[in-house]
Structure 1
Amino acid sequence: MRIAPFQLERWFAEVEADADVMLAESGVRPLSADRFDTDPGELGYVIPTAGRPAFRAKVGELHGRDAAETLFTCGTQEANLLALLSLADSHVVVVTPTYGSFTGLANSLCDVTRVPLVEPGWELDPDAVESALRPDTDLAVVVNPNNPTGRHHDEETMRSVYERCADNGTYLLCDEVYRLLSADPIAPVSSFGRHGISTGGVSKSFGLAGLRFGWLCGPSAVVATAENWKDYTTISPPTFGHHVAEQAFDRHEELLAENREHVAENRAVVEAFLDTHDLAWSNPDCGVNAFVEVPAGFASGESFSRSLVTEESVVVAPGEAFGRPEWFRIGFGLPREKLDEGLSRTGAFLARHR
């Protein structure tokens, strides 16, 4: 199996470690470990390796599934990998722009058809997804809320996409890692019916990226196949991650309300900054990501991003990583003082280049 470099992660590997401000961070600022009991006891495998049944039942219930239809993973990234390894055989439809692992993984496994969101509002068109389906389409993939634009597709739209996939015998995989940042989250795709699969984790909405804890919820046959693949990857979820994530779920209403407030305040700060500098953006309505137009005078998202990190030590994500070179991605979930510093330096950079 040959796979293309993951452009976004290669960019971060090149510039993130030496930069002062990570203005491309795609999650909510990390919570402090002292808010949780961090002693899981013995550091053995989580048993059973799919995750402890009582906790799987809690997560499954929030996704319209039971414990047997829920698999714990090392982050949402592994959940998505396992879903694709389990299902992608002939043809996959991927809605774009999207997180790069979906196009990269799918391209390494089978034929891929990309369905672009409709600009300027970045809407998902169910008719376009249906037109892309083939008799041999194994899987369609949507990230909702979308990364990189921060746009949230409503439940009516998602159900319409699901019905068209189900009628074709195609599974619909939805990466819902930002879903719980909505004040009124829509129903997860896994609850729509036998062809629905949801992946998620605690990295983004909960601000617990370091736990490397995620899940896959879906039909029992798909979960069983994914569990078989997991025997060849990480075997079990991390003991620390499982232990702390269970506490976070027990307090999810408190933690998510806190994070939603933080994100809303930061979003308002970014919107005011962009208005001041007359820059258009994707007008995100859920999550912590946004596309921002590349300012005049720069050839592409990469040229802008590279100049910004060189001159101001601020990292943003070039749109080329998402197949959209006329944009760059920012994240606004970071701590407020870091956000202010990053925007201040970006403002100084823009002033010099206009």
Structure 2
Amino acid sequence: MKFMGHLVYGSNPFVPMSLFATIVPVITLGSVSKRWMIPGWGLGWLVTCDPSGLLRKDKIAESVNKLLVYSPFPPTLIQGAIPQILEKTTQDFFSKTINILRKNLDICYDKLKEIPCMMIPQKPEGAFFAMVKLNLLLLEDIKDDMEFCLKLAKEESLIILPGVTVGLKNWLRLTFAVEYSSLEDGLGRLKSFCQRHAKKYTLTGSTAVDQQIHVEH
């Protein structure tokens, strides 16, 4: 389980999986890049909750420690900053972060509803990104989520992660952990891109006939 409990702002409370460790051992992962919102800082931790001792008995923890020997250490700059980050970060920092993310999510959710080819099945209640379903039937010249993201980057200089990279074809993973002005600008570019590539419908069938009769009369 990836530790994102501190980034919960929906109506449902966060329930740590460690509560169920008496049923099955739980391994929790966390990182500086998530907890402190510092992308690219490859430094994290792994915590085991194993009251029955199964992980120790099967030497799982021992195997993990052996793997760490082959992993490169984080850059010196990051190692030097960690003590200050841990000691001087107050709860106020996390509270403000959650408030900002909550407001950004509301903006993102409302703006995406204005784009017909996109849908968020459920409003996120945690983390800092939303999974968005892409309706390709409403787009003219885009075959999948990868092509959508490549054209978006080329035409609008806007980067969105295609869902296929995380196992969800024709979805998008859109982050809203940015400043309000950047988020608003990005969503505006996204809407313009979708409008530009939207299918152009022509009147057919009874609708065309009805209009012809109306004109003749």
- Whether contact under 8 Å (1:203, 1:210) holds in the other structure is yes
Deviation at 1:207, TM superposition (A): 1.2
**Structure 2, unpaired ranges of 5+:** 199-217
Alpha-carbon separation, structure 2, partners of 1:226 and 1:202: 20
- The equivalent of 1:253 in structure 2 is 91
**Identical aligned pairs, as a percentage?**
21
Alpha-carbon separation, structure 1, partners of 2:19 and 2:32: 18
Cα offsets for 1:19-38 (capped at 9, x unmatched): xxxxxxxxxxxxxxxxxxxx
The one of 16, 21, 32 equivalent to 1:202 is 32
Q: Which amino acid aligns with 1:320?
A: V
Q: Which amino acid aligns with 1:204?
A: K
Q: Which amino acid aligns with 2:63?
A: T
| Aligned residues: CA RMSD | 2.4
Tell whether 2:171 aligns with 1:327.
yes
Cα offsets for 1:222-255 (capped at 9, x unmatched): 3333222111222x55554344334434425222
Cα offsets for 1:95-136 (capped at 9, x unmatched): xxxxxxxxxxxxxxxxxxxxxxxxxxxxxxxxxxxxxxxxxx
Tell whether 2:107 aligns with 1:281.
no
Q: Which amino acid aligns with 1:182?
A: V
- The equivalent of 1:185 in structure 2 is 14
CA 1:217/1:263 → structure 2, altered by over 3 Å: closer, same or farther? Answer: same
Alignment of structure 1 residues 11-26 onto 2, 5 Å: none
Tell whether 2:183 aligns with 1:339.
yes
- Bigger Rg over Cα: 2
**Structure 1, unpaired ranges of 5+:** 1-173
Alpha-carbon separation, structure 2, partners of 1:294 and 1:258: 32
Cα offsets for 1:59-95 (capped at 9, x unmatched): xxxxxxxxxxxxxxxxxxxxxxxxxxxxxxxxxxxxx
TM norm structure 2: 0.72
The one of 219, 229, 235 equivalent to 2:67 is 229
- Whether contact under 8 Å (2:130, 2:174) holds in the other structure is yes
- Whether contact under 8 Å (2:145, 2:169) holds in the other structure is yes
SS in 2 for 1:314: coil
Tell whether 2:197 aligns with 1:353.
yes
Tell whether 2:95 aligns with 1:268.
no
| Pairs aligned (count) | 179
TM norm structure 1: 0.46
Of structures 1 and 2, the one with the larger relative CO (CA 8 A, separation 6+) is 1
Alignment of structure 1 residues 58-137 onto 2, 5 Å: none
CA 1:190/1:241 → structure 2, altered by over 3 Å: closer, same or farther? Answer: farther
Tell whether 2:5 aligns with 1:175.
no
CA 1:232/1:190 → structure 2, altered by over 3 Å: closer, same or farther? Answer: farther
- The equivalent of 2:154 in structure 1 is 310
Q: Which amino acid aligns with 1:281?
A: I
- Whether contact under 8 Å (1:202, 1:208) holds in the other structure is yes
- Whether contact under 8 Å (1:294, 1:304) holds in the other structure is no
Alpha-carbon separation, structure 2, partners of 1:238 and 1:189: 31
SS in 1 for 2:130: strand
Deviation at 1:190, TM superposition (A): 7.8
SS in 1 for 2:45: strand
